[in-house]
Structure 1
Amino acid sequence: MARSGITKREVQAARLALLKAGHHPSIDAIRIHLGNTGSKSTISRLVKEIEDEEGGGGGQAPRTTVSEQLQTLVNNLAARLELESQERFDVLKEGHAAELKRLTEARDKALAESQASMRQAEARQVEAADAKAAALRVQGELNALRLEHAQTTGQLTTQVTALQEQLAAAKAHAAELGKQHEHAHQALEHFRAASKEQRDREARQHEQQLQYLQREVATATEALASKQGELRTALQEKVDALGLLTAARAERRQLDEQLRGLKTAGERLAVQNQLVDDLRAHVLQAVQQYETLQSRAEALERRNGELERLLAAAEAAAQTQADVVKGVLERIGQPPANKSKGKAASTG
C-alpha cells in the first residue's frame, strides 16, 4: 500500500541510486524505485527543485542563501551516505549469508563423515571381537588337540616299549630253543656214536630213544616256528606302531601349521586394531574440524553484530551531523519563509 506523501530526501536518494546504476532517472523510474509511492506531479516538482539546486535545470536558477546551499549539501551528503551505507550493508549481509551457508554445509558434511567414521569404527570393533573370539576358540581346540596328541604319543610310546620288550623276549626264547636244538643234535650224534658200539645190544632201545628224540626235535621245531610266527606278528605290530607314530607326527606338523596360521590371524587382528585406532584418530580430527568451523561461525556472527553496530553508529553520526547543521542554521537565523518552503517541500 502506497504512503500518503514522499520527501525530497527520498526522491533525491532514489534519483542518485538510478544514476549510480546507470539508468535514466525519469519520473516513472523514480516512482517505481520508491515502491509506486507519491504522485507524479509531486515527484516532478521535487526533481525540478533538486535539478535547480544542482544547477542542471533550464533558465536561471533562483538565488539561494548560504544556509539553503548548506542545507541542500547536507541533505545530498546524508542521502548519499545512507545509500552507500545501505549498499555496503547489503553486500556484507550477502557475503555473511554465503559464508554462513558454506560453513553450515561444511559442518553438516563433517558431521556426516564423523558419523560414517564412527559407524565404520564400530563395525571394525565388532569384526575384531569376532576375530578374537575365533582365535580363542581355535586356541582352545589347539590345546585340546595338543593334550590328545600328548596322550596318544604316550600310549604309542608305551605300546612300542612293550612290543620291543616282547620282541627281545621272543629273541631270547628263540636263542634258547636254538641252544636246546644244538644240544639235542650233539646228544644225537653222541648217541649215534655210542650206538655203533652197542648196536646189537641196544638196537631197540636206541630206536626208541631215537624216536623220542625225533619227537622232541619236532616239538622244538614247532615251538620255534610258533615263536617265529609270534616274532613276525610282533614285528608287524611294531610296523603298525611306527605307522601310527608317523601319522601322529604328520598330525603334529598339521597342528604346527594351524598354529602358524593362528599367528598370522593374530597379526591381521593387530592390523585391524591399528586400523580401528586410525579411524578413531580420524573421528577425533573430524570432531576438531567441526569445533573449528563452529568457532568460525560464531566469530562471523560476532563480526556481523559488530558491522550492525558500526552501521548504527554511522547512522547515529549522520543524524547527529544533521542535527548539528540544523542547529547551526537556526543560530544563523534562517528566514521563516524558507522554513515554510522547506516544510511544504517535505510534505509533497
Structure 2
Amino acid sequence: MARGGVNKAVVQKARNDLLARGINPSIDAVRIELGNTGSKSTIHRYLKELEAESKPTSQRDSLSEPLTTLMSQLLSQLKEEAHQSVAEVHETLRRERSAVQQQSAVLESRMRDLESQYSNLAQQLHTAQELALREQQQRQVVEIDNARIVQSLVDLEVRLKERDERIRSLEGLHQHAREGMEHYRQASKEQREQDLRRHEAQTSQLQAEIRQLQQTLMVKQEELTQLNRDNARLVTEARQHQKNQHTLEQILSQRHQEFESARSALADMKHTNDKLEQQCQALQGEVARFDEAYAGQTQQVENLQERLVEVTDLLKLFTKISPPENGLAPEKSD
C-alpha cells in the first residue's frame, strides 16, 4: 500500500498534470508533483499500471492529434509571451537609460556653467583685491605726504618763531641803539643814521620773508585741505570696494554651494544609472535562464512528440496484430 495517503488515483492525477504541461512523468517528477510524498517503489508500480491501462485506450489515432495540437498551441503561446515579455523589459530599460543619460547631460552642462561662473567670480574677486591693494597703497602714500606736509608746517612754525625771536631781538637791539644814539647823538649822528638805515633794511627784508612764509603757509594749507579731501574720497571709495568685495565673496560662496549641489546630484544620478545597469544585467540573466528553460521545454516537447510518434506506430502495429473483437494482444505460448 502507498505511504502517506498516496494511492493510484493521486498518482494518475499527478501523471496527467505533468503530461498536460509537457513534462515527462518520471518517478522523481511525479513524487515532486505529489509534494515529495510516497515511496518511489509504490509510485513506480502505479505508473506501470497506468501505462498498461492507457495502452488499450491509445489504439485510436485521434487521441494523439488533439494532444499534439494542444502542445503546439501551448508551445506557440509560451514562445510568444516570452518574446513579448523580453521585448517589454528591453524597451523599459532603454527608456530608463535614455532618461538617465539626458538628466546626466543636463547636470554636466549645468556643472560646466557653474564652473565657468565660479572662474569668472574668482577672477573678479582677484581684480577687486588687486584694486583694493592699490587703493591701500595710494592711501598710504597720501598719508605719508600728509605727514610730510604736517612736518613741513611744523618746521615753518618753528622758523616763524625763530624769526619772531630774531625780530624781538632786533627790536631790542634797535631800542638799545636808539638809547645809545640819544647819548651819542651829537657825536655819532651819521653812524646812527647808517645803523638806522641798516636796521630798516633788515626789518623790510624780514617783513618780506614773513609775508613770503605766510603765503607759503597758505598754499600748504590749501594743499593740505585738498589732500584731506582726496584722502576722504579715497577712504569712501575703499569702503565701497570693500562692500563690493564682500558681495562678490557672498556670490562666490553661493555659486560654490550650487556647484557642490550639482556635483552631488550628478553623483546620485550616476549611482542610479549603475543600479539600472545592474538591474539590466540581472534581467538579461533572467532572460538567458528563461531562454535555457524554453529550450529545455522545447526539447522535451520534441522528445514527447517523437515518443508519441513511436507510441502511435506501436499502437498501429499492435492494432494490426491484435484481434479486432477484444482488442487484446495474444498471449505467447511457452
TM over 0.5: yes
1:138-153 alignment to 2 at 5 Å?
138-142=124-128, 144-153=130-139
The aligned residue for residue 160 of structure 1 is 146
161, 169, 178: which one pairs with 1:175?
A: 161
The aligned residue for residue 119 of structure 1 is 105
| Aligned 8 A contact 1:195 1:206 in 2 | yes
1:280-299 alignment to 2 at 5 Å?
280-299=267-286
Letter in 1 for 2:322: Q
The aligned residue for residue 262 of structure 2 is 275
| Aligned 8 A contact 1:170 1:230 in 2 | no
Instruction: Give the distance between the partners of 1:229 and 1:88, measured in 2 at CA.
Output: 122
> Is 1:334 aligned with 2:322?
yes
The aligned residue for residue 75 of structure 2 is 89
| Aligned 8 A contact 2:104 2:269 in 1 | no
> Is 1:240 aligned with 2:226?
yes
| Aligned 8 A contact 1:107 1:293 in 2 | yes
295, 299, 303: which one pairs with 1:316?
A: 303
Instruction: Give the distance between the partners of 2:238 and 2:73, measured in 1 at CA.
Output: 87
Instruction: Give the distance between the partners of 2:223 and 2:79, measured in 1 at CA.
Output: 100
The aligned residue for residue 209 of structure 2 is 223
**Matched residues, percent identical?**
14
1:251-262 alignment to 2 at 5 Å?
251-262=237-248
Q: Which segment drifts farther, 157-166 or 327-336?
A: 327-336
Deviations 1:284-335 (A, max 9, x none): 4224303412431441243144134224414533552563475367558434
98, 102, 107: which one pairs with 2:84?
A: 98
The aligned residue for residue 8 of structure 1 is none
Alpha-carbon distance change, 67 to 126 in structure 1, aligned in 2, over 3 angstroms: closer
Q: Which segment drifts farther, 131-140 or 298-307?
A: 131-140
The aligned residue for residue 345 of structure 1 is none
62, 77, 92: which one pairs with 1:75?
A: 62
The aligned residue for residue 303 of structure 1 is 290
Q: Which segment drifts farther, 221-230 or 90-99?
A: 90-99
Give the RMSD, CA atoms, in angstroms.
3.9
**Alignment: residue pair count:** 272
Instruction: Give the distance between the partners of 2:312 and 2:84, measured in 1 at CA.
Output: 40
Alpha-carbon distance change, 231 to 258 in structure 1, aligned in 2, over 3 angstroms: same
Letter in 2 for 1:81: L
Q: Which segment drifts farther, 326-335 or 106-115?
A: 326-335
Instruction: Give the distance between the partners of 2:259 and 2:304, measured in 1 at CA.
Output: 66
TM-score by length of 1: 0.62
Instruction: Give the distance between the partners of 1:67 and 1:244, measured in 2 at CA.
Output: 122
Deviations 1:6-33 (A, max 9, x none): xxxxxxxxxxxxxxxxxxxxxxxxxxxx
TM-score by length of 2: 0.64
Alpha-carbon distance change, 327 to 92 in structure 1, aligned in 2, over 3 angstroms: closer
Alpha-carbon distance change, 75 to 315 in structure 1, aligned in 2, over 3 angstroms: farther
Instruction: Give the distance between the partners of 2:226 and 2:55, measured in 1 at CA.
Output: 133
State the 1:190 CA deviation.
5.1
Secondary structure of 1:75 counterpart: coil
Deviations 1:37-85 (A, max 9, x none): xxxxxxxxxxxxxxxxxxxxxxxxxxxxx9875423x733x34433433
State the 1:273 CA deviation.
3.9
Instruction: Give the distance between the partners of 1:323 and 1:174, measured in 2 at CA.
Output: 143
Deviations 1:144-183 (A, max 9, x none): 4355335424432332232122111111011112222333
Letter in 2 for 1:137: Q
Deviations 1:99-144 (A, max 9, x none): 2232222222223223323433442343244234424533543454
